[in-house]
Amino acid sequence: MLLGMLIHTFCPNIVEIGSFTTATFSNTAAATIMGVQLLCIGSQLQIIKLQQVVKRGGILLLSKLLLGVFIIVSARMIGGKQEIADACILAVLCGATNINGSIYLSLVTAYGDEIDGAAVALLSLTNGPFVTMILLGAAGMVHFSAISLAATIMPIVVGIVLGNLSKTFREFLKPGVQLLLPFIGWTLGMGIDLNDIFRAGISGTFLSIFVIAAGSVFTYLCDCYVIKRPGYAGLATCATGANAIAVPAAIAMVDSTWLPYVGEATAQIAATVVMSAIVVPIIVGIFIKKERKNNVKECT
């Protein structure tokens, strides 16, 4: 994405020569590549797994939705699409409600059990624009028709159907989830001016701190007091997934009034993805060590 930003900032017309080059490497390719990735993500959501992990995964997912509601209510109190703590409301909502499934899975695999790991299938529903769009739509901050919503979620629905009908389809499409990330990063970068990142640098830091801090509170409390679990899985959901970078552009496709916010929001989310990927595993590791130390003291 950074390489795409550099090219778009200093020589934006280099890929605008037409044919396959423009169709593959310009910002206009983002929607197609995002759609294909959503289909691949959907193919990994097995219905049988959703039934097995509905308690743990469902509560963790609900905690993210509650966090999103809190953000929306705060935004409406301030006034519509105003900024909260120098960060665009679109970036705050996208960053806070999206879960980095790879980091979550690696952490709960190391510290938890197979049920925690299976919950990633349900938590994957946060990938892409669906949750953000539903929250903004419910608050009246995004206006879209039923057809627009259907068009947005159709790729992931098709993926779910294919993945549950055939294991062959599911295994075939699985590599696409990670494989398409650099292509999404590139095409999104081709729509971002680096000047926007410099202007949003401080707010990007504030956004990262808010996403990690507020997310930790909501998910940890739900994990501990609702599911009656230690809390590490809730903390592991606080890293923002790379897919969140594409959400502002997807929202703007449905409601063009959000278009002026896309550049800044995308830059802020990119900063949050990087920072949370570093900080959240450290937080979970410290938490686990503390829990184990306390358990040893109790045993002795």
Degrees (nearest 5) of the Cα angle 91, 95, 97? 120
Rounded to 10°, the helix 89-97/54-78 angle is 170
CA–CA separation, 190 and 178 (whole Å): 20
CA distances 163 to 54, 116, 124, 159, 241, Å, are 19, 21, 14, 6, 22
pLDDT at position 58 over 70: yes
Rounded to 10°, the helix 146-165/130-138 angle is 150
pLDDT recorded at residue 86: 37
Q: What is the DSSP annotation of 197-253?
A: HHHTHHHHHHHHHHHHHHHHHHHHHHHHHTS---SHHHHHTTSPPGGGGGHHHHHHH
Asked if residue 231 lies in contact with residue 224, where contact means CB atoms within 8 angstroms, the answer is: yes
Containing 172, the helix (H) or strand (E) segment is helix 167-179
Helix, strand, coil: what percent of the chain each, to 5? 80, 0, 20
What tens digit of pLDDT does each residue of 214-251 get? 888 888 888 888 888 888 888 988 888 877 888 888 88
* Beta carbons within 8 Å of 167's beta carbon, 6+ residues apart: none
- The two structure tokens encoding residue 19: 């044919």
Q: Where are the domains of the chain?
A: 2-7+30-290
Backbone CA torsion sign across 192, 198, 203, 208: positive
pTM: 0.68
Class of domain 2-7+30-290: mainly alpha
pLDDT recorded at residue 283: 92
What tens digit of pLDDT does each residue of 14-23 get? 888 888 888 8
What tens digit of pLDDT does each residue of 105-138 get? 778 877 877 677 767 767 777 777 778 777 877 7
pLDDT at position 167 over 50: yes
pLDDT recorded at residue 83: 47
pLDDT band at 95 (very low <50, low <70, confident <90, very high): confident
- The two structure tokens encoding residue 53: 């992990």
pLDDT recorded at residue 114: 65
**Average pLDDT rounded to a whole number, residues 21-26:** 86
Q: Who wins on pLDDT, 290 or 196?
A: 290
pLDDT recorded at residue 208: 83
CA–CA separation, 44 and 38 (whole Å): 10
- What rounded mean pLDDT belongs to the chain? 79
What tens digit of pLDDT does each residue of 259-270 get? 877 877 888 888
